[in-house]
């Protein structure tokens, strides 16, 4: 499976500011995904990021709040904009496996605390 | 809205026993089913996936799928304290673009 890294691993931010999270993969992948995992909760898909097209957002998530870039097949960024304490979560990127079997592999996550 | 249900636990089993984790899903059109393990403070790790009705074995792990009952389970044989984690069931039904995770079951294997 691909090796996935995320930066930063954690951050503490003030409300009203924005944070950009980077996701780097060691091989080219078509599908990349961004998830949020709130404390004690399961994973919720924010959006699907395909190279060369606009990200597809899930219900409840909007581009103005979570803009995503996907400039190439190994890299993506998620920005959390105008943050509030409710945005405190772990943000995870994932990539789809290459065998046509749709499994996803996750990066280590970014732990965000908004004060 | 697709839903995936799991017992939240905690499920406690003694070391060496079989742990049985269950998952039900609402979308009858779901095609692929995945089990992830998540240790506290870590990201989810894929254990195995299953597509066809029946059993699929990988080492100490067996996934069971019954599409008619919309039910998927994970059995862990010879449970070890290192298996203590949260186990997440995930369901997919649109060529990889519709992953939905269940709430997870916390497993505790007692030495």
pLDDT, one tens digit per residue, over B40-81 is 999 999 999 999 999 999 999 999 999 999 999 999 999 999
Mean pLDDT of A16-26: 98
pLDDT of residue B94: 67
Residues in B touching A41 (Cβ below 8 Å) = 103
Could you report the per-residue pLDDT of A45-90, keeping only the tens digit for each? Answer: 999 998 888 899 999 999 999 999 999 999 999 999 999 999 999 9
Q: Which residue of B has its CA nearest to A38?
A: B103
User: Residue A107 above 90 pLDDT?
Assistant: yes
A9 close to A108: Cβ distance less than 8 angstroms: yes
Size of interface A-B (CB pairs under 8 A): 47
Q: What average pLDDT is seen over chain A?
A: 94
Residue B27 has pLDDT above 70, yes or no: yes
How far apart CA B34 and CA B18 sit, in angstroms, is 19
Q: What percentage of chain A reaches a pLDDT higher than 70?
A: 100
State the pLDDT at residue A64. Answer: 97
**For A85, which DSSP code?**
G
Predicted confidence (pLDDT) at residue A102 exceeds the cutoff of 90: no
Q: Is the predicted pLDDT of residue A1 greater than 90, yes or no?
A: no
Name which of B39, B45, B26 is nearest B100 in CA terms: B26
pLDDT above 70 coverage of chain B, percent: 95
Q: Which residue has the higher pLDDT, B90 or B1?
A: B90
CA distances to A28, A66, A110, B49, B59 from A79, in Å: 22, 5, 12, 31, 40
| Strand partners for A72 | A75
Both structure tokens of B27? 């979308």
CB-CB: which of B43, B88, B99 is closest to A45? Answer: B99
Do residues A112 and A37 make contact, with C-beta atoms less than 8 angstroms apart? Answer: no
Of A42, A48, A56, the CB nearest to B101: A42
Mean pLDDT of B74-100: 89
Q: Residue A53 to residues A67, B37, B94: CA-CA distances in angstroms?
A: 13, 32, 18
A42 chain-B contacts, CB cut-off 8 A: 88, 101-104
Closest-CA residue in chain A for B89? A42
């Amino acid at each position: 499976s691909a090796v996935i890294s995320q930066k930063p691993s954690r951050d503490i931010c003030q409300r009203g500011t924005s944070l950009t999270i980077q996701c780097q993969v060691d091989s080219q992948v078509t599908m990349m995904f961004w998830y949020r995992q709130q404390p004690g909760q399961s994973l919720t898909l924010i959006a699907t990021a395909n190279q060369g097209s606009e990200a597809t957002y899930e219900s409840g998530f909007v581009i103005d709040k979570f803009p995503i870039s996907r400039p190439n097949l190994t890299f993506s960024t998620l920005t959390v904009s105008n943050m509030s304490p409710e945005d405190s979560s772990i943000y995870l990127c994932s990539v789809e496996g290459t065998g046509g079997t749709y499994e996803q592999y996750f990066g280590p996550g970014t732990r965000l605390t908004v004060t | 809205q697709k839903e995936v249900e799991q017992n939240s636990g905690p499920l406690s089993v003694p070391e060496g026993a079989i742990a049985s984790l269950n998952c039900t899903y609402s979308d009858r059109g779901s095609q692929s089913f995945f089990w992830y393990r998540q240790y506290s403070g870590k990201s989810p790790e894929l254990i195995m996936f299953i597509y066809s009705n029946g059993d699929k074995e990988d080492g100490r792990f067996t996934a069971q799928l019954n599409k008619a009952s919309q039910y998927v389970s994970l059995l862990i044989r010879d449970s070890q304290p290192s298996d203590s984690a949260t186990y997440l069931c995930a369901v997919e039904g649109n060529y990889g673009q519709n992953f939905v995770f269940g709430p997870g079951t916390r497993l505790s294997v007692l030495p």
